[in-house]
Amino acid sequence: MDNSIKDPVCGMQVNPDSFATDYLGMHYAFCSEQCWDRFKANPHLYVGVPGEEAPRQKGMEVIKQRHFHLDQKLIDAEAALLEEQLSAMMGIKHIEVAGDTIDITYDLLLVTAEQIETCVGQTGMRLGTGLGERLQRGFIHDFEEIEIDSMEVRPRPLPIKP
């Protein structure tokens, strides 16, 4: 008997004990730490409220395109490693690494720019460290957070009876 359950973020069937959590009296499990982190940050992007589906339940995607600068040009082997690592993340639609740039297209409901940047760092590569580049990344993080927050479905307040 298959007792797997659906990861509410990416839709994969997973073991009920995999990155398990309970939320509002319901049990959820996730295929990866990435999906678990996305859910913890904004659960109502993935699970709705009575009478209203969440954006992910409706099949919604929020496609973003970003251009990141690295602190140095990569040799072909480094670029291939970075592409491989980023391509393994949920939600990555397209990636191109050339020289000192990363052009990437991703679904914001599955992965954020901040998670992408963390993956870049984990491969040993460094993003540009100039003030302008750091500020731009900070603005992107804030903008994505605001955009995501505005899409979450929330329980409606009960009407006040006179």
Neighbours of 61 (CB within 10 A): 14
Residue 12 in this model has a pLDDT that exceeds 70: yes
3-state secondary structure 104-122: EEEECCCCCHHHHHHHHHH
Scanning 6-125, the segments in alpha helix (DSSP H) are: 33-41, 76-87, 113-122
Tell me what the mean pLDDT of segment 6-11 comes to.
94
Handedness of CA 125, 130, 135, 136 (dihedral sign): negative
Q: Quote the tokens at residue 69.
A: 């600068």
Tens digits of residue pLDDT in 19-69: 999 998 899 999 999 999 999 999 999 998 888 999 999 999 999 999 999
Scanning 89-157, the segments in alpha helix (DSSP H) are: 113-122, 131-151
Bridge partners (DSSP) of residue 105 are 65, 94
Q: Quote the tokens at residue 134.
A: 């750091």
Residue 158 in this model has a pLDDT that exceeds 70: no
Tens digits of residue pLDDT in 66-104: 999 999 999 999 999 999 999 999 999 999 999 999 999
Residue 160 in this model has a pLDDT that exceeds 90: no
Amino acid at 63: I
Q: Quote the tokens at residue 100.
A: 């000192």
